[in-house]
Amino acid sequence: MDAPVARHPTPGQIALAEAIARGEQSLGTRVETISAEVYLDPRQFDAEMVRLFASVPLVLAPSALLDRTETAVAHDGYGFPLILSRDRDGTTHILANVCRHRGTRLISPEDDEPIAARRIVCPYHAWTYRSDGGLVGIPRAECFPGIESGDISLSRFASRESGGLIWYAKSAEADFSDAEAVAADFDAFDFAGHHLYRRKTHAVAANWKQVIDAFLEAYHVQRLHASTIAAFFADGITAADRIGQHQRAVVGRADYLASVDRSDWAALRRAVTFTYHLFPNTIVVISPDYINILVVMPQSVGQCLVEDFMLIPDKPETNEAEAHWRRSWDLLDGAAFAGEDFKAAELCQRGMESGLAGDVLLGTLETGIADFHKRVEAYL
Ligand code: FES
Ligand SMILES: [Fe+2]
């Protein structure tokens, strides 16, 4: 069950692995501080929602969530009702989950799994829509003189499907160029060809930035994760660069990187772990044979939801394969992410709320956090 090897690392991915092999790490040179207020101030939270989350493209899900045509699923995580759909031609659409008749919800968010959606039928009066959002039927149409169903469709949001991820933006003017630029890296891992093994939404009682912070430094890996995943990693060996607003990092897994063929994906993925921070709120972790995508969705200043998607190369066909992936899921999603990273984020938030924490101190292994907060601030 090795990683797919048909594709090759991009020049940028190889350059970062080379940098870490030469011992060139992306370290800061001084201690930086962040005010505890950035995790506590409701006015900052409101500004983040309006100026950042409502203006830039955000990841909704991997393409593998909708692995067939004419399927749809509700998505409420960003605070308003959306539908992700794939139409009969395979194109994805992000639609308002709001009927054009009197506004009720078309697909229930309680339906966790995507539904067959050749037709999306409103439960109230049965107005009927195609999977691309176009209205195709009004019962008792004679009661709506002057209304042509062909002129009406569900509201559509700006979106892109690239690199095996589905992005959307609340603003019609959003610039998707960074989302498109990072897609080459994910195509190199063949995200779009992967199977969605599991997904789970975690409620985390922490400001959304606390969760992102936990994935922007490898300083904690040997400490917080001592009993789960620490043994797979070298201590604090990281290098990072940027693709537009997004951050790409590698963390050293083993000390034999110097002898690894950089064009051999399976070997490279055993030697280093690539992680991506898709600004502002998504983390991608590339393990040797599977991929986790964590979408952090702010709910209030001290609460967020984190949806964890685990992609694997192929659908498990045997009990043995199923047990293998189950162990990986339990280790990363359950023990490391939920049991350690999200827990640490919650405890940091409690510390901030106590008023006793003072400013946050960031060491030279944690410059990625300082950089992230500066980029958030630039929007406010
Ligand atoms: S509210 Fe949807 S058909 Fe009436
Ligand atoms: Fe961690």
CA nearest ligand 1 atom 4, residue:
125
6 — phi, psi (to 5°)?
-65, -30
Q: How far apart are CA 189 and CA 88, in angstroms?
A: 26
Instruction: Verify whether ligand 1 is closer than 6 Å to residue 105 (CB atom).
Output: no
Same domain assignment for residues 50 and 76: no
Buried b (16+ CB within 10 A) or exposed e, 325-343: beebbebbbeebbbbbbbb
**How many Å lie between the centroid of ligand 2 and the Cα of residue 155?**
38
Query: What residues pair up with 84 in beta bridges, in sequence order?
Result: 73, 94
The dihedral sign for the CA sequence 140, 136, 58, 278? positive
Instruction: Verify whether ligand 1 is closer than 6 Å to residue 102 (CB atom).
Output: yes
**How many Å lie between the centroid of ligand 2 and the Cα of residue 228?**
10
Q: How far apart are CA 202 and CA 49, in angstroms?
A: 20
286 — phi, psi (to 5°)?
-100, 100
Q: How far apart are CA 211 and CA 341, in angstroms?
A: 7
CB distance 258 to 22 below 8 Å: no
| Full residue range of the structural domain in which residue 335 is found | 11-56+192-377
**How many Å lie between the centroid of ligand 1 and the Cα of residue 146?**
18
**How many Å lie between the centroid of ligand 2 and the Cα of residue 344?**
9
Same domain assignment for residues 299 and 152: no
Measured from the alpha carbon of residue 344, the closest ligand is 2
Nearest to 203 by CA among 79, 112, 299: 299
Q: How many other CB atoms sit within 10 Å of the CB of residue 235?
A: 13
171 alpha carbon, distance to own chain's centre: 19
305: amino acid identity, one letter: L
Residue 180 maps to a domain: no
* Amino acid 259: pLDDT: 77
Same domain assignment for residues 41 and 112: no
Q: Which two tokens stand for residue 228?
A: 């789960």
**How many Å lie between the centroid of ligand 2 and the Cα of residue 213?**
10
Residue 175 maps to a domain: no
Instruction: Verify whether ligand 1 is closer than 6 Å to residue 127 (CB atom).
Output: yes
The low-confidence residues of the chain, meaning pLDDT below 50, are 1-5
Q: How many other CB atoms sit within 10 Å of the CB of residue 42?
A: 10
Measured from the alpha carbon of residue 229, the closest ligand is 2
Same domain assignment for residues 246 and 128: no
Domain boundary, last residue among 140, 161, 182:
161
Give the domain CATH number at 136: 2.102.10.10
Q: How far apart are CA 13 and CA 76, in angstroms?
A: 34
Tell me the Cα Rg of the chain: 22
* Amino acid 1: pLDDT: 37
Nearest to 337 by CA among 316, 307, 361: 307
Residue 183 maps to a domain: no
Residues 6+ apart with CB under 8 A from 217: 238, 365, 366, 368, 369
CB distance 216 to 183 below 8 Å: no
Domain boundary, last residue among 113, 145, 161:
161
Residue 172 maps to a domain: no
Report the nearest atom of ligand 1 relative to the CA of 102: 1
Model's pTM, two decimal places? 0.95
Q: How far apart are CA 185 and CA 164, in angstroms?
A: 10
Same domain assignment for residues 200 and 322: yes
Instruction: Verify whether ligand 1 is closer than 6 Å to residue 202 (CB atom).
Output: no
Instruction: Verify whether ligand 1 is closer than 6 Å to residue 139 (CB atom).
Output: no
Domain count, the chain: 2
Nearest to 10 by CA among 253, 249, 262: 262
CB distance 167 to 176 below 8 Å: yes
Q: Which residues surround ligand 2, an ion (CB under 5 A)?
A: 341
Place of tokens 């209205």: 135
Q: How far apart are CA 368 and CA 123, in angstroms?
A: 47
* Amino acid 255: pLDDT: 58
Give the domain CATH number at 50: 3.90.380.10
